[in-house]
Amino acid sequence: MTLNICIAQLNLVVGDLAGNAQKIITAATSAYHDGARLVLTPELSICGYAAEDLFLRAAFIAACDAAVADVAKALAGFNDLCVVVGHPTGGDVRTRSVAVPGRFNSASVLREGKVIARYDKRELPNYQVFDERRYFSPGQGVCVFEAGASGVRVKVGVLICEDAWFEAPARDAAQAGAQLLAVINASPFHVGKGLEREQMMRERVLACGLPLVYAHLVGGQDEVVFEGRSFALNADGTVAARAPGFIENQLLVHVNQAQDAMFLSANIVPEQTADADLWHALVLGVRDYIGKNGFPSVLLGLSGGIDSALVLAIAVDALGKERVRAVMMPSPYTADISWIDAREMAQRLGVRYDELSIVPEFQAFKTTLAQEFDGLPEDTTEENIQARIRGTLLMALSNKFGSIVLTTGNKSEMATGYCTLYGDMAGGFAVIKDLVKTTVFRLARWRNAHDPYGTGACPIPERIITRPPSAELRPDQKDQDSLPPYEVLDGILERYMENDESIEQLVAAGFDRADVERVTRLIKINEYKRRQSPVGIRVTHRSFGKDWRYPITNRFRA
């Protein structure tokens, strides 16, 4: 007995119900002609993941219901084809003060124009970037249906994402007669998550004794990225199939059964390195944020430093050189090597490059403020004025030509407030917001050694990587004048911010108490800045975004 299953690894757009429905119809039609009789689409594939407070609108749920009906109708003529689609169902009781969720995160099984079964997600994640208990109620029971043509039917148990991380849903499906588990998913990327996912699903199949097919979303949605890399496991835990990451794909999985044994087989794409995954995630995040929101192009301030260099390389890989513009804005403190290296990098990548000196504007500000500042030494005030002049120029170009400004600040800077409100923080999308500085350097070297999108080998001049980092806002300035060495800072940040370790645990781990006290204090007092920063791509298991929710007014420090 043989059943072919198509994993439709789709890049969907939140709220584009008609577009998503058509993408599902097209994928299912193609899969049917390739011999598939079961098609799995990602979690909430009708509406896109995650639609956030759109779920609270009755009109949105009704539109999703209509889109499901449209998909069922369009595929009604394909005999014996089952298609699993994800969508929200139900409603709730709401007043101005109270909301009682009556909605479910559901999967419907479509066959020959009808919904033949429905499953409601039982385990609702409410951690990291997940907020599903705000919108959904947990489902009850199981969903087992038969897929395939007459005589070759396989009993398939449906699970939705988080359900498969717990024992009970899979066990209940097995007890209800399932011979195979089909898991539809929208699980946000962070470095290492792919391996975690496969290992957890391996534990699940070994516990319940059933093979498993894992259909995953791909694409960028605001701050999160979904990497795809759908897969299938045999009942013994071996990998039977794996789709490529970070691109759409239709993976055809062959299910062969002889007597009581069921064996899955398909193409297996090798795993990539962590840095390759990280690069592809950043590129996809930029491409989809710009494309799905309709921005024609991007621009950024290119300083001759490592952060803006990395952002430029990512932007060109994501969008192509024709849609990227770099602007160098030298000040009185800009070193010659900075504009030389900026020019060189722009030439290597072939992007439009312009130089706009901020010296006249900076002098004009100082002249205007001379009487107010009389007798006072120059300090961070004058440094911030330079950053804000640059931010104003970039935003003026953005307003005039419609390009979105990519900011270039990294996680180490965002954590400690080593950035300027309405200056280098001004923009629409923070590409490397979740990369600590040491990762910025490492990823720059990775990109110089690889050319994954064919946009040019070794795009970042070596001196940009090797010179000591500096904001160049005062004479002979270095980042380490204001911060601990980045190896120390990033180590503290990872443990304190990402893993919730205490000050005493950090000191016990060997960090100098003065450095720990300094860094943790900076993290605390700069919450107000981070709240005003642009959205940026999440690539770690905890970013300064939806999974970091600290009060601004706060006198506690762990």
Q: Which residues are catalytic?
A: 43, 121, 161
Asked if residues 349 and 313 have their Cβ atoms less than 8 Å apart, the reply is: yes
Of 72, 82, 70, residue with least CA distance to 31: 82
Running DSSP on this structure, what letter comes out for residue 404?
A: E
Asked if residues 108 and 68 have their Cβ atoms less than 8 Å apart, the reply is: yes
C-alpha dihedral, 143 to 146 to 147 to 149, nearest 10°: -170
3-state SS, residue 424? coil
Of 447, 438, 455, 430, residue with least CA distance to 276: 447
Q: Which residues, 6+ apart, have CB-to-CB distance to 280 below 8 Å?
A: 227, 245, 246, 272, 452
Backbone angles phi, psi at 5, to 5 degrees: -115, 130
- Lookup: tokens for 372: 């107010």
Tell me which H or E stretch contains 274: helix 274-292
Q: What is the DSSP string of 500-536?
A: ---HHHHHHTT--HHHHHHHHHHHHHTHHHHTTSPPB
Q: How far apart (Å, rounded) are the C-alpha atoms in residues 394 and 68?
A: 44
| Omega prior to 50 cis, within 30 of 0 | yes
Tell me which H or E stretch contains 393: helix 380-401
Running DSSP on this structure, what letter comes out for residue 421?
A: T
User: Mind spelling out the 3-state secondary structure of 121-170?
Assistant: CCCCCCCCCCCHHHCCCCCCCCCEEEECCCCCCEEEEEEEHHHHHCHHHH
Q: How far apart (Å, rounded) are the C-alpha atoms in residues 148 and 146?
A: 7
- Lookup: tokens for 326: 């770099």
